[in-house]
């Protein structure tokens, strides 16, 4: 039941790092395309030269690369509908805009930005809102109020002008949206949007509609912030006599607390990234953290993002990209904005971390160990990781959970000492040390058996001994099965740690 020629696009502006809301929009496009057996296109909408930020496009591409979102056509790998950067398509827009003027659907306007802003100010002081519409355009400087000859003169003299859409005075525009259903707007509340700017570039509205048509985009899946301009876009398609694509306007990602759209500030304030990758602003040198650098797995990041505004309709929560493709449908996208929950993001990462193989995790952990000046064999690191990964959300947590496998404790958790280091502990640990030094087969099972039978024979309390023992070996009351730890660090190290602990903690007075 898939449409024959599904073609979707993600069309960001290179004005800075890609926000996770944008990543989610791209993800839904990608899932939809894959599910329908269609094509996914990456187009760069750089019609505003003043907002261009160097490195932004590269960032966007790298981010998708990291996430595993792939494009069939676009600025990365080209394609038959190129170029895919709007600045490189500049020449084709003007003719289309002129065509609209010829058919009376658009007109030239000579009002300068300064004139317009002063009118706006004046209206505001009278508590009115200025909109450039069917009423106002009669009083302004445009090809509707100036005769043809003078318009030609003005243009001939190089007077800057823009091209505006002549919004009908009173017409119902009926639109259909895949997630919102039928939407109706009367054109009387709409304004004469600029289609073509005085700098020779089209605005988003024109460029976007034209390119979507020229690139044969079948479904426009984009953020809800575009819904208010949908009537204009639809009217443009109709004015050109083009088939409209199907539209789907996605709900926005909201900040975790309070109200409003998720922004970089929220991330900084609440301690989580708002961007997939770390970003350094080329001008201010200000940096923003990224999911990748914060230790998230791309699979977890994608999984988390996919479930923010979409759900499969059953109770599954863990999805690989392939699973998502299989389960995705645009009809199941929600209609209301989703507050981002950093806590659940961490949970997702944990889920992926524990299912990763120990060798793979060891490889990821290795650089951290090296940074601490530790050169442990891969085999040992794998074993250690296998023992502690349940306790970690991120690869970086692994060190806190396993440092004692690699370095002997230099100090001891004072609260634990207070709680578990009793008057008898000192003597008991000396005894234990003797028992341990007598063991030849220093395997976990054998040590356990030997120590336990010693405890039984002496009628010592199990908890009493084991907690004190753990304190000496680990430095705190945490970590995996203690006999596994001592077996791994070996007999010599174990005995040394007991020596050091005994010396450092000392004997507790009764």
Give the catalytic positions in this structure: 264
Cβ closest to RNA, residue 378 vs residue 461: 461
Structure tokens at 55: 């490195």
To RNA, the closest distance from the beta carbon of 230 in angstroms equals 8
Residue-by-residue DSSP string for 374-414? ----HHHHHHHHHHHGGG-SSTTHHHHHHHHHHS--SS--H
To RNA, the closest distance from the beta carbon of 339 in angstroms equals 3
First and final C-alpha spacing in the chain: 80
Structure tokens at 177: 């949206």
121, exposed or middle or buried, with CB in 10 Å at 0-12, 13-18, 19+?
A: exposed
Cα 374 to the center of its chain, rounded Å: 33
To RNA, the closest distance from the beta carbon of 310 in angstroms equals 7
In angstroms, rounded to a whole number, what is the distance separating the alpha carbons of residues 120 and 128? 9
To RNA, the closest distance from the beta carbon of 243 in angstroms equals 22
To RNA, the closest distance from the beta carbon of 239 in angstroms equals 19
In angstroms, rounded to a whole number, what is the distance separating the alpha carbons of residues 89 and 240? 19
Q: Which contiguous run of DSSP H or E holds residue 471? A: helix 462-474
CB atoms within 10 A of CB 490: 11
Cβ closest to RNA, residue 33 vs residue 253: 253
Count of positions (residues) in the chain? 510
To RNA, the closest distance from the beta carbon of 375 in angstroms equals 26
Q: Which residues pair with 288 in a beta bridge?
A: 279
Residue-by-residue DSSP string for 218-243? -EEEEEGGGGGGHHHHHHHHHHHTPP
The set of residues, in sequence order, having a beta carbon less than 8 Å from that of 83 and lying 6+ positions away, is 89
Cβ closest to RNA, residue 148 vs residue 315: 315
Cβ closest to RNA, residue 7 vs residue 389: 389
3-state SS, residue 258 = coil
Cβ closest to RNA, residue 48 vs residue 424: 48
Cβ closest to RNA, residue 47 vs residue 377: 47
The set of residues, in sequence order, having a beta carbon less than 8 Å from that of 59 and lying 6+ positions away, is 17, 18, 277, 279
Q: Which residues pair with 450 in a beta bridge?
A: none
The DSSP output letter for 476 is S
Cβ closest to RNA, residue 156 vs residue 181: 181
To RNA, the closest distance from the beta carbon of 381 in angstroms equals 18
């Amino acid at each position: 039941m898939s449409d024959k020629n599904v073609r979707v696009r993600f069309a960001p502006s290179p004005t800075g790092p890609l926000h996770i809301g944008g990543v989610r929009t791209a993800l839904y496009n990608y899932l939809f395309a894959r599910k329908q057996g269609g094509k996914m296109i990456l187009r760069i909408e750089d019609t505003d030269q003043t907002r261009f930020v160097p490195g932004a496009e590269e960032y966007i591409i790298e981010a998708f690369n990291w996430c595993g979102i792939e494009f069939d056509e676009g600025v990365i790998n080209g394609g038959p509908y190129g170029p895919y950067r709007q600045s490189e398509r500049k020449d084709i827009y003007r003719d289309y805009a002129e065509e609209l003027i010829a058919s009376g659907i658009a007109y030239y306007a000579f009002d300068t930005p300064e004139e317009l802003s002063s009118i706006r100010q004046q209206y505001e002081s009278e508590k009115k809102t200025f909109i450039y519409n069917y009423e106002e355009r009669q009083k302004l400087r445009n090809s509707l109020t100036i005769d043809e000859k003078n318009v030609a003169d003005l243009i001939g003299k190089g007077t800057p002008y823009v091209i505006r859409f002549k919004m009908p005075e009173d017409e119902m525009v009926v639109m259909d949206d895949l997630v919102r259903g039928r939407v109706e707007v009367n054109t009387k509340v709409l304004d004469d949007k600029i289609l073509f700017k005085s700098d020779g570039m089209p605005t988003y509205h024109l460029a976007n509609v034209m390119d979507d048509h020229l690139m044969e985009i079948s479904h426009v899946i984009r953020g809800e912030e575009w819904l208010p301009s949908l009537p204009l876009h639809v009217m443009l398609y109709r004015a050109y006599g083009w088939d409209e694509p199907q539209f789907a306007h996605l709900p926005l990602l909201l900040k975790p607390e309070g109200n409003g759209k998720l922004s970089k500030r929220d991330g900084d304030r609440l301690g989580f990234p708002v961007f997939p990758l770390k970003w350094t602003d080329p001008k201010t040198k200000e940096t923003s953290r990224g999911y990748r650098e914060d230790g998230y797995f791309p699979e977890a990041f994608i999984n988390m993002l996919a479930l923010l505004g979409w759900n499969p309709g059953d109770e599954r929560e863990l999805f690989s990209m392939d699973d998502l493709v299989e389960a995705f449908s645009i009809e199941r996208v929600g209609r209301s904005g989703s507050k981002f929950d950093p806590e659940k993001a961490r949970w997702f990462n944990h889920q992926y971390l524990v299912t990763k193989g120990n060798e793979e995790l060891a490889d990821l952990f290795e650089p951290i160990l090296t940074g601490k000046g530790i050169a442990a064999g891969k085999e040992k690191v794998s074993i250690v990781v296998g023992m502690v990964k349940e306790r970690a959300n991120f690869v970086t947590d692994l060190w806190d959970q396993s440092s004692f496998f690699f370095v002997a404790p230099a100090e001891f958790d004072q609260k634990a000492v207070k709680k578990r280091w009793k008057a008898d502990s000192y003597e008991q640990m000396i005894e234990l040390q003797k028992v341990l030094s007598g063991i030849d087969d220093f395997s976990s099972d054998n040590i356990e058996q030997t120590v336990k039978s010693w405890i039984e024979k002496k009628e010592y309390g199990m908890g009493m001994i084991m907690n004190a023992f753990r304190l000496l070996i680990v430095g705190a009351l945490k970590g995996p099965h203690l006999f596994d730890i001592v077996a791994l660090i070996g007999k010599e190290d174990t005995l040394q740690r007991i020596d050091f602990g005994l010396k450092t903690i000392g004997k507790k007075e009764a």
